[in-house]
Amino acid sequence: MAEISTIGMDRTRGGYSRHLFDSAERELREWFTTAAEGVGLDVDVDRNGNLWAWWGTPADGAVVTGSHVDSVPGGGAFDGPLGVASALVAVARLRREGFQPRRPIAVVVFAEEEGGRFGVPCLGSRLLTGAIPPERALRLTDGDGTTLADAATKAGFDPAHFGQDDAALARIGTFVELHVEQGRGLIDAGSPVAVGTGIDPHGRWRFSFTGRGDHAGTAAVADRNDPMIPASRTVLAARAAAGHGPRDTRATVGRLVPVPGGTNVIPMRVDLWLDSRATATDATREAVAAITEAARAAAHDEGCQVEVTEESWSGPVSFDPHLRDRLLATLREPPLLPTGAGHDAGVLAAHVPTGMLYVRNPTGISHSPAEHAENDDCEAGVEALADVLRELAA
């Protein structure tokens, strides 16, 4: 973790901004390759830009661990890289102690887990498993209008090869992802490590409000069709649709873009993105329906239009109960933890036995520079992951 502590630092937002195929992310790919080769692994990249480091000849049914190295804008140091670094350290320890795995072990780095550049989270694992058609993925654009197809080509990948990769999927016999905890479950449980139970359903929706751009000084309020007004009321509707407890319905607007975006300009368009999650699909869908209805009414009141697009949806995930019990027994019954945070493990769980380990985050805060993990807890995470790999690959 110290080796990558300066890569992709965001001087404006604080924390780190590391996005698919940008210079920081490519530097992290090089770091991973060097570090994995340093512990004796063979590094490979698949058709969708996911990196693989192999202990043993790649074969079907391997024990796979890993996470991601990209971040949200201004994210913390641990979200993603902790799982990757812990995997490399755990594998290095197993090799040093002379462990002989009977199944190959691989460490994977999934591409664009946060959707920080192209908007769809877990893009690498979704492409690999066929959860997103490559035609749709390759047309996604970043904030500058660059398509994934163009970004991939520039990074040396052939977009024609993107898409469902059955050979890569068949090589994953079991997947265990270690991740920094993104809430305060482990603070409350008083434990450094937990085993995951599943992931709440969640999704992302874009609301595009259009009105009439005009002059902030000369356009009378009565004459305005200002899309910022319904956008603002939609933000408040999101808060009203959410509950207050940590496991209640969550609805968040973390990104809102007025176009053209001038202080003395009434915007002609405002795009905002809603992130909504709940412990059940129905509750998530109901919240989005209520927010959408409020958005349409607010747009109508202001003489504006609104278009709502579902950009991603991840259904509820329950991790494999047999694997979960094995993790619990191997780790001497740590706490079990559900989560509202999405992970590549959630995408893979539809295809292969999948589990997660969480490492305590003493701030309880994530997707922020305040995210943290103490060295002793990271060490406990590495120990737990090494125990799990030893158990699963024996």
Judged on CB neighbours under 10 Å (0-12, 13-18, 19+), 363 is middle
Q: Which is nearer to Zn ion, 10 or 42 (CB)?
A: 10
| Region 258-287 residues binding Zn ion, contact defined as CB under 5 A | none
Q: Which residue is nearest to Zn ion (CB)?
A: 79
Q: Which is nearer to Zn ion, 80 or 353 (CB)?
A: 80
Minimum gap (Å) between residue 80 Cβ and Zn ion? 5
Q: Which is nearer to Zn ion, 77 or 388 (CB)?
A: 77
Minimum gap (Å) between residue 180 Cβ and Zn ion? 8
Q: Which is nearer to Zn ion, 79 or 165 (CB)?
A: 79
| Region 182-241 residues binding Zn ion, contact defined as CB under 5 A | none
What's the first-to-final CA gap in the chain, in angstroms?
28
Torsional sign, CA 29, 31, 34, 36: negative
Minimum gap (Å) between residue 72 Cβ and Zn ion? 9
Minimum gap (Å) between residue 76 Cβ and Zn ion? 10
Maximum alpha-carbon separation in the chain: 77
Could you give phi then psi for residue 337, rounded to 5 degrees?
Answer: -140, 125
Minimum gap (Å) between residue 220 Cβ and Zn ion? 48
Reading the block at residue 344, the tokens are 């590549």
Residue 230 to residue 228: CA distance in whole angstroms: 6
Minimum gap (Å) between residue 350 Cβ and Zn ion? 18
Minimum gap (Å) between residue 9 Cβ and Zn ion? 18
Q: Which is nearer to Zn ion, 19 or 103 (CB)?
A: 19
Alpha-carbon separation of residue 19 from 119, 261, 262, 321 (angstroms): 11, 24, 27, 33
Q: Which is nearer to Zn ion, 80 or 104 (CB)?
A: 80
CA nearest to 340, candidates 274, 273, 249: 249
CA nearest to 90, candidates 388, 391, 355, 332: 388
Site size for Zn ion (CB under 5 A) = 2
| Region 3-22 residues binding Zn ion, contact defined as CB under 5 A | none
Minimum gap (Å) between residue 367 Cβ and Zn ion? 9
| Percent of the chain as helix, strand, coil, to the nearest 5 | 35, 25, 40
CA nearest to 357, candidates 317, 393, 386: 386
Minimum gap (Å) between residue 363 Cβ and Zn ion? 16
Q: Compose the 59-88 pattern: x for residues touching Zn ion by CB under 5 A, - for all others.
A: --------------------xx--------
Q: Which is nearer to Zn ion, 72 or 380 (CB)?
A: 72
Q: Which is nearer to Zn ion, 4 or 229 (CB)?
A: 4
Reading the block at residue 303, the tokens are 């003489």
121 part of the interface to Zn ion, by CB under 5 A: no
121 close to 72: Cβ distance less than 8 angstroms: no
Pairing mode, strands 202-210 and 269-277: antiparallel
Q: What are the strands, taking DSSP E only, across the chain? A: 42-45, 51-55, 62-68, 105-110, 172-180, 193-199, 202-210, 214-215, 250-259, 265-266, 269-277, 305-314, 317-318, 336-339, 354-359
Q: Which is nearer to Zn ion, 13 or 93 (CB)?
A: 13
List contacts with Zn ion (CB under 5 A): 79-80
